[in-house]
Amino acid sequence: MMDSITRKAGIAAVAAFGVVLVSSASYSIVSAQGLPEGFKKGDLAPEPSAEMIEAGKRVYFTKCVWCHGVDGAGDGPGADRLWPRPRNFNQGTFKIRHTASGELPLFDAKKPIPGQNDLFETVTHGLPGSAMPSWEGILTEEQRLQVLSFVTTQLVKDRKFTDKQSETQTILQLAELKAKPATDESKKRGGELVVEKKCVECHGMEGRGDGNAFNLKDDWGFSIQPADWHKCWNFRGSRQDPYNVGNIFRTFSTGVNGTPMPSFADNTTVDERWDIANFVNSLCERDALGNPLPIDPLTDKPKINFVIPSDLVEGEIPTNIEHEAWQKAPKRYVAMGGQITHKPRNFVNRIDDIWVRSLYNNKSIVYLLEWDDRTKSVAEGKLPWAPTQVNIDVKEQEPKTGEEGSIAAHQNNYTVYNDAIAIETAVKWKELPAPIKPRYLFGSSDQFPVDIVKWEADGSLRAFKGTGWDKDFEERDNYEESMKLLKGEWKDGRWYVMIQRPVGNKKDQDYDEDTFFEVGQYIPTVFFAWDGHNGDAGRKMAVSAFFYTFMNPPIPQETYIYPAVIAVGVVLLEGWVLTRRANKKKEKGKAL
């Protein structure tokens, strides 16, 4: 039992958290048998058969060994470039469970009770936000049970799933606990409870995972981030059903073993836990009508629409986000991946999405960019390179370093640079009929250059011309007068940046370096984002795919006239058919 508890540097952090817990757990809610409310004692599952284990070994050495390693110590060839690091099975510490804090997860190789065979569910659905994919549709149910039989008996070394002396199973009866409806009252109570129970100390005042972002460590001494409640599709325990409140209830009730996230079963009633789960669930991003975002079953992330529509406003574009025009402007989810095309590659990008809105008037177009970033980062002193420099001295993670040099061990230890965001548009997009785009990443020599507008957390806004992934930018002429930063604010784990740039005009556009934004046309647009605390600078950044900025044209008059004409035409046609029919009948009548 003691083995599961920290042996490494994490002790301090966990202990500190323990103090917080004990002090807040001034009272304890237990049922008659001394169990926390909602839990029941269960039996340990029987040992899987030798055939299952042997068959599982074959699955493991085909599929799993590459990250989890030969001995299951989470040190396979892929491990050092991953964060979170692959699970080290040896200690038997598993995050997502139906069992009480500190206990082994549920696993029975014989009879998978739907939804209640924890390890089987993890392999089936994967762990979103980490590199663990869903194995459903790749391995059969039988194969998944086999490989788990191998892992639980051969690779979990410090504990034994079948040892009645040392192991117990106290199981959350999730199927029997009826979810409390997510009423406003319940959510309000939940909102109060997350403060009372000190959830916000780690998860942040708005639940963006920005509280105490630097000091949290897991059992193995690696930095760990509190979950961002606004991205439920990244919850490890979301089980490919991110808006299901039961997942949050389960994680909150059982805690996340091996991390500072405790179980709150002992100091909350079931009713309170539902309130908190309802509140946390209500924070997850939703569409304008408050409905859950459609999730793409191929990626388990929100579905992407690659067109960013920009609405026309008369007169000045408002700078206040609460303004009606901004509230009505459609908000687009822009997925961000690490820049892993050129050196230095960014294997772990801490910004994985941006929310973009846009408005335009006859002179300018404004982008409102919002993204969650747990840390506000502004470099101390002057950066050692010029703003136009693309090839700068930032090292990429070596492939094989061992734990100490791994990407997970580096987290929160990077030199801090500026948080930044950039919008790249194709300059000569008119010569690039869709779907053709300028060459990734920064266009190509002089043929298809790109226009890059970059904002940095030090408050600077610059405009460049890019001519190739390894070519330094050229700073553009006189952009200072025409470009404006309308907003650049970090609040509770989220950046709000509003950038205004000219739309250009047909007559005297500076064709070679400035993008001319034409109404009703698809203008290829890419977004780049840098997280200063991740050591992001230069090409070490997050990138989006090509999106399109589309300035919605005002509705032309023909749109009203033609349909009316067509409708009249149909009326005439009807008249003709009816008269003809009537005549025919008359003739028939005569003939008879």
**Helix/strand number for the chain, H first, E second:** 13, 18
Provide, rounded to whole angstroms, the least separation between the CB of residue 340 and other proteins: 6
Q: How far is the CB of 331 from other proteins (least distance, A)?
A: 14
DSSP 318: P
Exposed (0-12), middle (13-18) or buried (19+): which is 321, by Cβ within 10 Å? middle
Q: Taking Cα atoms as reference points, which of 10, 374, 20 lies closest to residue 226? A: 374
Task: Name the residue nearer to other proteins (CB basis): 304 or 378.
Answer: 304
In angstroms, what is the minimal distance from the CB of 544 to other proteins? Answer: 6
Q: How far is the CB of 132 from other proteins (least distance, A)?
A: 8
- C-alpha 232: how far from chain center: 8
CB-based contact 248:277 (threshold 8 Å)? yes
- Identify residues 178-217 at the interface with other proteins (CB under 8 A): none
- Nearer to other proteins (CB atom), residue 299 or residue 415: 299
Q: Confirm if 438 and 476 have CB atoms less than 8 A apart.
A: no
Q: Rounded to an integer, what distance in angstroms lies between the CA atom of residue 387 and that of residue 465?
A: 12
Q: Please report how close the Cβ of residue 109 comes to other proteins at its closest, in angstroms.
A: 17
> What 3-state DSSP class applies to 88?
coil
Indicate whether 67 belongs to the interface with other proteins (CB under 8 A): yes
Residue 18 as a binder of other proteins (CB under 8 A): the answer is no
Which of 214, 511, 562, 576 touches other proteins (CB under 8 A)? 562
Quick check: 174 binds other proteins (CB under 8 A)?
no
Length of the chain: 592
Peptide bond into 289 cis (omega under 30): no
Q: Smaller CB distance to other proteins: residue 239 or 374?
A: 239
Selected from 28, 166, 305, 413, the binder of other proteins by CB under 8 A is 305
* Interacting residues with other proteins between 149 and 168 (CB under 8 A): none
> Which residues share a beta bridge with 320?
none
Distance of closest approach, residue 207 Cβ to other proteins, in angstroms: 23
Interface of this chain with other proteins, residues 458 to 477, rule: CB under 8 A = 469
* DSSP letter for each residue of 195-207: HHTTTHHHH-TTS
Count CB-CB contacts under 10 A for residue 244. 19
How near is the Cβ of 216 to other proteins at its closest, in Å?
A: 22
- Which residue in the block uniquely carries the two structure tokens 């839990």? 39
The stretches of 36-85 forming alpha helices (DSSP H) are 50-59, 65-68
Binding mask 219-258 for other proteins (x = CB under 8 A): ---------------------xx-----------------
**Structure token digits, residue 295:** 């999730």
Q: For other proteins, which stretch binds (CB under 8 A), given 5-13, 25-33, 374-382, 570-578?
A: 570-578
Nearest to 151 by CA among 170, 168, 132: 132
Closer CB to other proteins, 103 or 451, in the complex: 451
114 forms part of the interface with other proteins (CB under 8 A): no
Which of 136/266 has CB closer to other proteins? 136
Q: Is 63 in the site for other proteins (CB under 8 A)?
A: yes
Asked if 386 touches other proteins (CB under 8 A), the answer is no
Region of residue 233 (left: phi > 0; alpha: psi -120 to 50; beta: else): alpha
Are 66 and 133 in contact by the 8 Å Cβ rule? The answer is no
Give, as one character, the DSSP assignment of residue 178: P
User: Which one of 139-147, 250-258, 370-378, 488-496 is the stretch in contact with other proteins (CB under 8 A)?
Assistant: 139-147
399-438 residues near other proteins, rule: CB under 8 A = 399-400, 434-438
Residue closer to other proteins, measured from CB, 30 or 570: 570
Shortest Cβ 453–other proteins spacing (Å):
20
Q: How far is the CB of 387 from other proteins (least distance, A)?
A: 24
Nearest approach in angstroms of CB 121 to other proteins is 14
Q: Is 175 in the site for other proteins (CB under 8 A)?
A: no
Q: C-beta of 492: minimal distance to other proteins in Å?
A: 25
Residues binding other proteins: what is the number (CB under 8 A)?
Answer: 89
Nearer to other proteins, 86 or 260 (CB): 86
Q: Can you tell me which of 323, 342, 471, 484 binds other proteins, judged by CB under 8 A?
A: 342
Q: Contact with other proteins (CB under 8 A): which of 5, 16, 35, 131?
A: 131
Rounded Cα–Cα distance for residues 238 and 235 (Å) = 5
Candidate list 18, 46, 337, 384; residue touching other proteins; CB under 8 A? 337
Q: Which of 182, 307, 222 lies closest to 10 in space, CA to CA?
A: 222
DSSP symbol at 369 = E
Which of the residues 83 through 112 are near other proteins (CB under 8 A)? none
> Is residue 352 at the binding interface for other proteins, with CB under 8 A as the rule?
yes
Rank residues 33 and 557 by Cβ distance to other proteins and give the closer one: 557
Quick one: 126 or 260, whose CB is closer to other proteins?
126
Among 34, 114, 137, 589, binds other proteins (CB under 8 A): 137
384/369 Cα distance (integer angstroms): 27
Stretch in the footprint of other proteins (CB under 8 A) among 65-73, 274-282, 449-457, 532-540: 65-73
Give the nearest distance from C-beta 553 to other proteins in angstroms. Answer: 5
Q: Which stretch binds other proteins (CB under 8 A): 96-104, 161-169, 414-422, 537-545?
A: 537-545
- Backbone CA torsion sign across 295, 298, 301, 306: negative
If one asks whether residue 335 binds other proteins (CB under 8 A), the answer comes out as yes
Please choose, from the candidates 383, 385, 399, the residue with its C-alpha nearest in 3D space to the C-alpha of residue 343.
399
CB under 8 Å to 489, separation ≥6 — which residues?
Answer: 495, 496, 497
Cα–Cα distance, 351 to 335 (Å, whole number): 9
Residue 343 interacting with other proteins (CB under 8 A): yes
Q: Which residues, 501 to 530, sit near other proteins by CB under 8 A?
A: 520, 522
**What does the alpha-carbon distance between residue 311 and residue 358 come to, in Å, rounded to a whole number?**
7
Cβ atoms of 78 and 67 within 8 Å: the answer is yes
Return the DSSP state at 533: G
Residue from the set 480, 511, 563, 576 that interacts with other proteins by CB under 8 A: 563
| Closer to other proteins by Cβ: residue 38 or 246 | 246
3-state SS class at 129 = coil
Q: Which of 16, 44, 160, 309 binds other proteins (CB under 8 A)?
A: 309
Report the chain's C-alpha Rg in angstroms: 29
Q: How far is it, in rounded angstroms, from Cα 408 to Cα 9?
A: 14
Helix (H) or strand (E) holding 560: helix 558-591
